[in-house]
Amino acid sequence: KQEVTQIPAALSVPEGENLVLNCSFTDSAIYNLQWFRQDPGKGLTSLLLIQSSQREQTSGRLNASLDKSSGRSTLYIAASQPGDSATYLCAVGGKLIFGQGTELSVKP
Amino acid sequence: GAGVSQSPRYKVAKRGQDVALRCDPISGHVSLFWYQQALGQGPEFLTYFQNEAQLDKSGLPSDRFFAERPEGSVSTLKIQRTQQEDSAVYLCASSFNDMNTEAFFGQGTRLTVV
Protein backbone atom coordinates (compact mmCIF):
# COMPACT_ATOMS: atom_id res chain seq x y z
CA LYS A 1 0.00 0.00 0.00
CA GLN A 2 1.39 3.38 -1.05
CA GLU A 3 2.20 5.72 1.82
CA VAL A 4 3.23 9.34 1.38
CA THR A 5 5.02 11.36 4.06
CA GLN A 6 5.76 15.06 4.12
CA ILE A 7 8.36 16.67 6.31
CA PRO A 8 8.22 19.09 8.03
CA ALA A 9 4.58 19.31 9.08
CA ALA A 10 4.94 23.05 9.59
CA LEU A 11 7.55 25.61 8.63
CA SER A 12 7.91 29.31 9.41
CA VAL A 13 10.46 31.42 7.55
CA PRO A 14 11.20 35.13 7.10
CA GLU A 15 10.37 36.71 3.78
CA GLY A 16 13.04 36.30 1.12
CA GLU A 17 14.37 32.94 2.26
CA ASN A 18 14.76 29.99 -0.08
CA LEU A 19 13.17 26.84 1.28
CA VAL A 20 12.72 23.15 0.57
CA LEU A 21 9.70 20.97 1.28
CA ASN A 22 10.13 17.21 1.32
CA CYS A 23 7.90 14.39 0.18
CA SER A 24 8.66 10.66 0.36
CA PHE A 25 6.71 7.67 -0.88
CA THR A 26 7.03 3.94 -0.28
CA ASP A 27 6.15 2.45 -3.68
CA SER A 28 8.22 3.68 -6.62
CA ALA A 29 5.72 2.35 -9.20
CA ILE A 30 4.04 5.69 -9.79
CA TYR A 31 2.67 7.38 -12.90
CA ASN A 32 3.52 10.87 -11.72
CA LEU A 33 3.87 13.16 -8.73
CA GLN A 34 1.94 16.37 -8.32
CA TRP A 35 2.46 19.28 -5.92
CA PHE A 36 -0.54 21.30 -4.78
CA ARG A 37 -1.16 24.38 -2.73
CA GLN A 38 -4.19 24.69 -0.44
CA ASP A 39 -5.29 27.96 1.14
CA PRO A 40 -7.54 27.81 4.25
CA GLY A 41 -11.10 26.82 3.37
CA LYS A 42 -10.26 26.43 -0.29
CA GLY A 43 -9.70 23.63 -2.75
CA LEU A 44 -6.35 22.50 -4.11
CA THR A 45 -4.43 24.46 -6.71
CA SER A 46 -2.07 22.45 -8.90
CA LEU A 47 1.49 23.80 -8.86
CA LEU A 48 3.62 21.28 -10.72
CA LEU A 49 3.21 17.84 -12.27
CA ILE A 50 6.24 15.61 -12.75
CA GLN A 51 5.83 12.55 -14.94
CA SER A 52 7.53 9.36 -13.78
CA SER A 53 10.08 9.66 -16.61
CA GLN A 54 11.06 13.21 -15.61
CA ARG A 55 13.52 14.40 -12.99
CA GLU A 56 12.25 17.93 -12.40
CA GLN A 57 9.79 20.64 -13.36
CA THR A 58 10.01 24.39 -12.93
CA SER A 59 7.40 27.12 -12.78
CA GLY A 60 8.49 30.61 -11.84
CA ARG A 61 10.01 30.53 -8.36
CA LEU A 62 9.06 26.88 -7.89
CA ASN A 63 11.18 23.87 -8.77
CA ALA A 64 10.14 20.29 -8.06
CA SER A 65 12.40 17.29 -8.35
CA LEU A 66 11.62 13.59 -8.45
CA ASP A 67 13.87 10.65 -7.59
CA LYS A 68 11.74 7.56 -8.11
CA SER A 69 14.40 5.08 -7.07
CA SER A 70 14.73 6.61 -3.62
CA GLY A 71 11.04 7.49 -3.33
CA ARG A 72 11.59 11.20 -2.84
CA SER A 73 10.49 14.53 -4.19
CA THR A 74 11.38 18.05 -3.14
CA LEU A 75 9.67 21.35 -3.78
CA TYR A 76 12.06 24.27 -3.80
CA ILE A 77 10.62 27.76 -3.34
CA ALA A 78 12.97 30.63 -4.13
CA ALA A 79 12.78 34.08 -2.55
CA SER A 80 9.70 33.27 -0.46
CA GLN A 81 6.92 35.87 -0.10
CA PRO A 82 4.09 36.25 2.46
CA GLY A 83 1.67 35.29 -0.31
CA ASP A 84 3.31 31.86 -0.42
CA SER A 85 1.83 31.10 3.00
CA ALA A 86 -0.41 28.04 2.58
CA THR A 87 -0.42 24.28 3.01
CA TYR A 88 1.60 22.42 0.39
CA LEU A 89 0.59 18.89 -0.49
CA CYS A 90 2.31 16.28 -2.61
CA ALA A 91 0.41 13.42 -4.20
CA VAL A 92 1.60 10.39 -6.15
CA GLY A 93 -0.48 9.14 -9.06
CA GLY A 94 -2.32 7.19 -10.56
CA LYS A 95 -5.15 7.83 -8.26
CA LEU A 96 -3.35 10.51 -6.22
CA ILE A 97 -2.33 9.37 -2.76
CA PHE A 98 -1.63 12.43 -0.65
CA GLY A 99 0.75 13.27 2.13
CA GLN A 100 -0.45 15.17 5.20
CA GLY A 101 0.93 18.44 3.92
CA THR A 102 3.41 21.06 5.08
CA GLU A 103 1.91 24.24 6.50
CA LEU A 104 4.14 27.11 5.40
CA SER A 105 4.13 30.55 6.98
CA VAL A 106 6.26 33.31 5.45
CA LYS A 107 6.67 36.26 7.79
CA PRO A 108 7.04 39.79 6.38
CA GLY B 1 -17.08 25.57 -17.43
CA ALA B 2 -13.64 26.94 -16.72
CA GLY B 3 -12.97 24.77 -13.70
CA VAL B 4 -14.31 21.94 -11.56
CA SER B 5 -17.51 23.02 -9.86
CA GLN B 6 -18.93 21.45 -6.71
CA SER B 7 -22.27 22.03 -5.04
CA PRO B 8 -23.37 22.77 -2.48
CA ARG B 9 -20.36 24.50 -0.95
CA TYR B 10 -21.68 23.85 2.54
CA LYS B 11 -24.12 21.25 3.80
CA VAL B 12 -25.41 20.70 7.31
CA ALA B 13 -27.20 17.39 7.80
CA LYS B 14 -28.88 15.87 10.79
CA ARG B 15 -27.52 12.48 11.78
CA GLY B 16 -29.34 9.80 9.83
CA GLN B 17 -30.19 12.06 6.90
CA ASP B 18 -29.16 11.19 3.33
CA VAL B 19 -27.07 13.73 1.38
CA ALA B 20 -26.03 14.11 -2.26
CA LEU B 21 -22.96 16.06 -3.32
CA ARG B 22 -22.51 17.12 -6.91
CA CYS B 23 -19.40 17.52 -9.04
CA ASP B 24 -19.24 19.14 -12.47
CA PRO B 25 -15.83 18.31 -13.98
CA ILE B 26 -13.99 20.35 -16.58
CA SER B 27 -15.67 19.80 -19.94
CA GLY B 28 -14.06 16.94 -21.85
CA HIS B 29 -12.24 15.50 -18.87
CA VAL B 30 -12.49 11.74 -18.86
CA SER B 31 -11.23 10.96 -15.37
CA LEU B 32 -13.00 12.00 -12.18
CA PHE B 33 -11.92 11.45 -8.59
CA TRP B 34 -13.56 11.92 -5.20
CA TYR B 35 -11.61 12.57 -1.98
CA GLN B 36 -12.49 13.08 1.67
CA GLN B 37 -10.46 15.58 3.71
CA ALA B 38 -10.69 15.76 7.47
CA LEU B 39 -9.56 18.91 9.25
CA GLY B 40 -5.78 19.22 9.26
CA GLN B 41 -5.27 16.10 7.14
CA GLY B 42 -4.40 15.40 3.54
CA PRO B 43 -7.19 14.30 1.18
CA GLU B 44 -8.05 10.59 1.28
CA PHE B 45 -8.96 8.81 -1.95
CA LEU B 46 -12.56 7.58 -2.17
CA THR B 47 -13.31 6.55 -5.75
CA TYR B 48 -12.33 7.01 -9.41
CA PHE B 49 -14.27 7.09 -12.68
CA GLN B 50 -13.14 6.88 -16.24
CA ASN B 51 -16.08 8.19 -18.24
CA GLU B 52 -19.12 6.47 -16.72
CA ALA B 53 -17.19 3.45 -15.45
CA GLN B 54 -16.29 3.35 -11.77
CA LEU B 55 -12.88 1.71 -11.94
CA ASP B 56 -11.86 1.96 -8.31
CA LYS B 57 -14.04 2.36 -5.23
CA SER B 58 -11.59 0.95 -2.74
CA GLY B 59 -11.55 4.12 -0.63
CA LEU B 60 -15.26 4.31 0.10
CA PRO B 61 -15.40 3.90 3.89
CA SER B 62 -18.65 1.95 4.09
CA ASP B 63 -21.61 0.77 2.04
CA ARG B 64 -23.38 3.98 3.05
CA PHE B 65 -21.23 5.77 0.49
CA PHE B 66 -22.20 5.52 -3.16
CA ALA B 67 -20.93 7.42 -6.22
CA GLU B 68 -22.19 7.54 -9.77
CA ARG B 69 -21.41 9.24 -13.07
CA PRO B 70 -24.14 7.91 -15.35
CA GLU B 71 -23.37 9.93 -18.49
CA GLY B 72 -19.65 10.28 -18.03
CA SER B 73 -19.81 13.93 -17.03
CA VAL B 74 -21.48 15.11 -13.81
CA SER B 75 -20.90 12.91 -10.78
CA THR B 76 -22.82 12.56 -7.54
CA LEU B 77 -21.49 11.27 -4.25
CA LYS B 78 -24.31 10.04 -2.03
CA ILE B 79 -24.01 9.33 1.66
CA GLN B 80 -26.86 7.48 3.29
CA ARG B 81 -27.78 7.65 6.98
CA THR B 82 -25.07 10.21 7.71
CA GLN B 83 -23.04 9.91 10.91
CA GLN B 84 -20.93 12.45 12.75
CA GLU B 85 -17.70 10.86 11.53
CA ASP B 86 -18.78 11.67 7.96
CA SER B 87 -18.19 15.36 8.70
CA ALA B 88 -15.39 16.46 6.38
CA VAL B 89 -14.68 18.35 3.18
CA TYR B 90 -15.44 16.30 0.08
CA LEU B 91 -13.25 17.19 -2.89
CA CYS B 92 -13.74 16.32 -6.52
CA ALA B 93 -11.01 16.39 -9.17
CA SER B 94 -10.93 15.77 -12.90
CA SER B 95 -8.18 15.14 -15.42
CA PHE B 96 -8.05 15.07 -19.19
CA ASN B 97 -7.69 11.46 -20.10
CA ASP B 98 -6.20 9.04 -17.65
CA MET B 99 -4.19 8.81 -14.48
CA ASN B 100 -1.13 10.29 -16.14
CA THR B 101 -2.35 13.85 -16.61
CA GLU B 102 -2.68 16.84 -14.33
CA ALA B 103 -5.63 16.75 -11.93
CA PHE B 104 -7.69 19.86 -11.20
CA PHE B 105 -9.74 20.19 -8.03
CA GLY B 106 -13.01 21.87 -7.15
CA GLN B 107 -13.50 24.05 -4.09
CA GLY B 108 -15.03 21.19 -2.15
CA THR B 109 -18.22 20.64 -0.18
CA ARG B 110 -17.95 21.02 3.58
CA LEU B 111 -20.33 18.53 5.19
CA THR B 112 -21.22 18.93 8.85
CA VAL B 113 -23.34 16.23 10.47
CA VAL B 114 -25.06 17.33 13.67
Give A42's pLDDT tier (boundaries 50, 70, 90): confident
Give B40's pLDDT tier (boundaries 50, 70, 90): confident
Residues B7-16 have a mean pLDDT of 98
Give the pLDDT confidence score for residue B1 in this predicted structure: 52
Nearest to B52 by CA among B70, B67, B65, B39: B70
pLDDT digits (tens, 9 = 90+) for B68-92: 999 999 999 999 999 999 999 999 9
Residues in A touching B24 (Cβ below 8 Å):
none
Residues A23-36 have a mean pLDDT of 94
Pairing relation of β-strands A62-67 and A56-59?
antiparallel
Q: Which of A42, A43, A89 sits opposite B42 (nearest CB)?
A: A89
Share the mean pLDDT of chain B. Answer: 94
In terms of Cβ atoms closer than 10 Å to its own Cβ (0-12, 13-18, 19+), residue A87 is buried
Give B98's pLDDT tier (boundaries 50, 70, 90): low
Q: CA-CA distance, B11 to B78, in Å (whole number)?
A: 13
Nearest to A20 by CA among A70, A96, A73: A73
A:B CB pairs within 8 Å: 60
Q: CA-CA distance, B41 to B54, in Å (whole number)?
A: 25
Give A94's pLDDT tier (boundaries 50, 70, 90): confident
Give B100's pLDDT tier (boundaries 50, 70, 90): confident
Q: Which of B24, B48, B105, B112 to mutate to test the interface with A (most CBs of A within 10 A)?
A: B105
- pLDDT exceeds 70 at position B99: no
Q: CA-CA distance, A10 to B110, in Å (whole number)?
A: 24
- pLDDT exceeds 80 at position A64: yes
Q: A40 vs A76, A86, A88, CA distance in Å?
A: 21, 7, 11
By C-alpha distance, the chain A residue nearest B43 is A98
- CA-based nearest distance B31→chain A, Å: 10
Residues A9-38 have a mean pLDDT of 95
On whether the CB atoms of residues A93 and A73 are closer than 8 A, the answer is no
CB contact (8 A) between residue A31 and residue B100: yes
Distance of CA B12 to the CA centre of its chain: 16
Residues in A touching B103 (Cβ below 8 Å):
34, 46, 91, 93, 96
Angle at B22 between CA A2 and CA A47, to 5 degrees: 50
